[in-house]
Amino acid sequence: MKPRHKRAALVLGVLSIVGLAAALVLNAFNSNLVFFYTPTQIEAKEAPVGRTFRVGGLVQPGSVVREGVTVRFVVTDTVKSVPVSYEGVLPDLFKEGKGVVAQGQLGADGHFAAREVLAKHDENYMPPEAADALQRADKMRAKMQGTLSPAPTPANGAQK
């Protein structure tokens, strides 16, 4: 074998190893991606069924039901809602009307089975995904009502 052929075989071998390593890394990265969806997106069938993702919004007041270690509640973005069930201990700051992000899988029946529940950590904090979802829901609601939330003026009796 000529030296030129040896170098070509070495280059091909190195390229094959690098290509295989890149394929393995990308495959691992793809399987660990967790996307975020709002209840409105889930209602619009944009969320995958049977794949892990996150849903966020507010815990709908009056929706928390505890059955042993299972907790059922509803996550809403003030436009649409998704029923969620979770088995385990909820974070201490989990409350009705507060921001929450749940990670789990959506069933074919539209029920979200959470494996992890994250709650806000202080009074002013809301998960960024949940805050963004609520802002989009407000804009969508305003658009559906035909008004883009006009600024309140003292003339129409609105108070600050």
For 96, which DSSP code? Answer: T
Tokens of 103: 């990670």
The residues that bridge with 85 in the sheet, in sequence order, are: 72, 113
Question: Counting Cβ atoms within 10 Å, is residue 113 exposed (0-12), middle (13-18) or buried (19+)?
Answer: middle
CB atoms within 10 A of CB 35: 13
121 assigned to a ligand binding site: yes
125 assigned to a ligand binding site: yes
The residues that bridge with 67 in the sheet, in sequence order, are: 70
For 108, which DSSP code? Answer: T
Which residues line the annotated binding site for heme? 121, 125
Which residues line the annotated binding site? 121, 125
